[in-house]
Structure 1
Amino acid sequence: MNHFPLFADLKGRIAVVVGAGLVAERKIALLRAAGARVIVSARAAHPQVLARAQAGGIELRLGEFDPALLDEAWLVVAATNDRAQNQRVADAAEARRLFCNVVDDPDLSSVQVPAIVDRSPITLAISSGGAAPVIARRLRERIESLVDPALGDLAALARRKRSRIRQARPQLRPRRDFYDWLLDGPVLDALRRNRADEAETLLDQALTIATPPPAGKVLLVGAGPGDPGLLTLRGLRALNEADVILVDRLVSPAVLSLARRDAQVIDVGKARGGPHESTQARIHALMVSYARQGCCVVRLKGGDPMVFGRGGEELQHLKRHGIAYEVVPGITAALACGAYAGIPLTHRDHAQSLTLATAHCRTGAAKPPDLASGDGRTRVYYMGVERLPALGARLLAEGHAADLPCALVENGSRPGQRTLHATLGSVVEAARRHAIQSPALVIVGEVAALGMDLAWFGETLRPASSDTLRRLAVA
């Protein structure tokens, strides 16, 4: 270990920063956040540093650096672009046995400033000892995605209740178990939902009983369209909290690979043409059963669980059975497929409104929902490929033009994405010719044609007819 990790309490103590540019300003901000009294020495100051000094946040001394300025300091930062000046600062600090950080110069530094993940009062620091700061920064980014923002609030609550916890759990092992319960149970859930009073009440109640009961819950998580990079940070944390994962057919293996390795994964996908209602009843039963065993159950759905994902039905079932739940939104297929195909779903010149619809209703009838016709609207149909002939015939019967642009986005955001461009009159035959299969999204409207110019991902299948191509290009 080349450096000894250390967290310094600088509250009310003097830290001297030599230099007043933008780099120095970043160090000043960190020191002020830690409660230090900051004195800045510089020949000239950046406007942001001047503004901070004028607001009374720091003490600014313009002119040449005076080593005597370090006599009362606890920490020194040299942040000038003059290495000889930085060397003088480092020498003056060394003579006074003061730790000194020279920005981007590990050879002159006696202390390094790490990359920081701040969940105050929880602080995580990552350092490469100055050898590879970019690697430390990248590691910080990864850790940021895994550390729950509510952990800071939980730590603050635990600090306030520390004496009560020690009194109620005087033995070390029961006390450790209680802290594990805090991390895994309803207190943290309440803090995530911004319900601090409820969290404190739950903690106080748990201290009055010998052992907190198992805190089962269900997290309804949107996995997005398939690209694991589109999974939300909260969704990633949920996958790493899960004891049991109930996974849909449309969730990509790449997303599922991010889950906790020892989680029990149960495939509850609905097969095409299968008994959907009985499968949904099984999902309801599994959620309730595992939650009542004290498990953290992640119900993992493709796209967003509340957009044609039966999320509402599942929440109603959990509510009826008294199961705690949380919803983690995902990027729904319409947004992802449009973006990855280069199709803006709204556009000031072409589309001022957007309708999301499903080609499947509860009874499985082929008839799509009634939609008001008219220009300036984009229509996006989920699960529309299998019902495409009926859907196209219905829109034509409503009076939409046969040359209205359409796009089918197959496997949106995934490695096998294909985008087929056609018109309302030709889309059924084009989809048959190119063997477009589910999962695929149907986009109908003038904006669909823009994808031929703006596409950036996957394969783009263009219309065979030059007349059609010109029509779409004009759109």
Structure 2
Amino acid sequence: MTTLLGLDVTGRPVLVAGGGPVAARRAGVLAADGALVTVVAPRLCEDLRRLVACGAVTWAERKVAETDVDGAWLVHAATDDPGVNDALCTWASARRVWSVNAGNGERGTARTPATTVHAGLAVGVVSTGRPDPARVAAVRDALDLTLTSGRVDLRARRPPGGRGGHVGRGGDGHAACTEHEGSPAVLLVGAGAGLPTGRT
């Protein structure tokens, strides 16, 4: 069973293994949310190169190793090798570090929600059982339409300065090159991962 949480990653080391578009999306969102992202990969796609160039993430130009997990609060395994992704998640579990396996959600100990952001609220959907990316994306898109329609009252209830949780805003890889403020979160449980344009 999956428990959905909003994690405050601000100032915390996060490891992203892989140099392709999936790794770029994950690294960009985490960096935008304030994480100290290290990307480990022999090569990078163009989006990741932009993130490195603007200082949003740090790049280690090599294959990922077990010792890369040391000190990380969260691990994203997003290489093009399923065996490497599985091994990385195993290394993370041995150190009691949460891990996301981008290629096989059942192999990691965490899952990335499909999210949409409205009026300072991040609404996320993940599977509670077997991962079902298409289903979760459809549910997220339906929620996005509902929130966009104006039928839901999105006005703040808590006075300024009140205590509240923090969750990352999400966005594409380029968002990490600009500053973002944290926002409270409303999180809904549904079913898996999906990354259409403009959402995570």
Bin for the TM-score computed over the shorter chain: 0.7 to 0.9
Aligned position for 1:343: none
* Structure 1 partner of 2:133: 133
Which residue in 1 is equivalent to 2:49? 50
Higher relative contact order (CA 8 A, sep 6+): 2
Deviation digits for residues 178-227 of structure 1 (CA, Å, limit 9, x no counterpart): xxxxxxxxxxxxxxxxxxxxxxxxxxxxxxxxxxxxxxxxxxxxxxxxxx
SS at match of 2:105: coil
Please state which structure has a larger fraction of its residues in helix: 1
- Tell me which residue corresponds to 2:67: 68
Report the equivalent of 2:14.
Answer: 15
On the 8 A contact 1:119/1:149 being kept in 2, the answer is no
1:162 to partner: Cα distance: 4.4
C-alpha RMSD of matched pairs (Å): 2.3
- Quote how far apart the aligned CAs of 1:153 are: 7.6
Amino acid at match of 1:60: W
Larger Rg: 1
> Where does 1:305-344 land on structure 2 (aligned, <5 Å)?
none
C-alpha spacing 1:67/1:16, structure 2 compared with 1 (3 Å) = same
Cα distance, 1:84–1:142 mapped onto 2, change above 3 Å: same
Tell whether the 8 Å contact from 1:12 to 1:37 is kept in structure 2 after alignment.
yes
CA contact (8 A) 1:15 1:76 kept: yes
1:133 CA drift (Å): 1.0
In structure 1, list runs of 5 or more residues that go unmatched: 164-475
State the 1:117 CA deviation: 1.9
| Structure 2 counterpart of 1:29 | 28
Structure 1 pair 162–89 and aligned structure 2 pair: CA distance change class (3 A)? closer
Q: Which residue of 2 aligns with 1:307?
A: none
Specify the alignment match of 1:98 in structure 2: 97
2:122, 2:158 → 1: CA distance? 15
TM-score by length of 2: 0.73
- Name the aligned partner's letter for residue 142 of structure 2: R
Unmatched segments (≥5 aa) in structure 2: 164-200
- Give the deviation of 1:5 after TM superposition: 1.6
Q: 1:149 to 1:34 in 2, by over 3 A?
A: farther
1:154 is aligned to 155
Rounded Cα–Cα distance in structure 2 between residues aligned with 1:128 and 1:65: 28
Q: How many residues align?
A: 161
> Shift of residue 26 of structure 1?
1.1
Aligned residue number for residue 260 of structure 1: none
Per the alignment, do residues 32 and 153 of structure 1 end up closer, same or farther by CA in structure 2, a change over 3 Å counting? farther
Cα gap change, 1:96 to 1:152, in 2 (>3 Å): farther
Moved over 6 A (4+): 149-153
Letter in structure 2 aligned against 1:59: T
Q: Deviations over 1:275-302 (max 9, x none)?
A: xxxxxxxxxxxxxxxxxxxxxxxxxxxx
The two structures have a TM-score, normalised by structure 1, of: 0.32
Give 3-state SS (helix, strand or coil) of 2:64's partner: coil
Q: How does 1:374-389 map to 2 (within 5 A)?
A: none
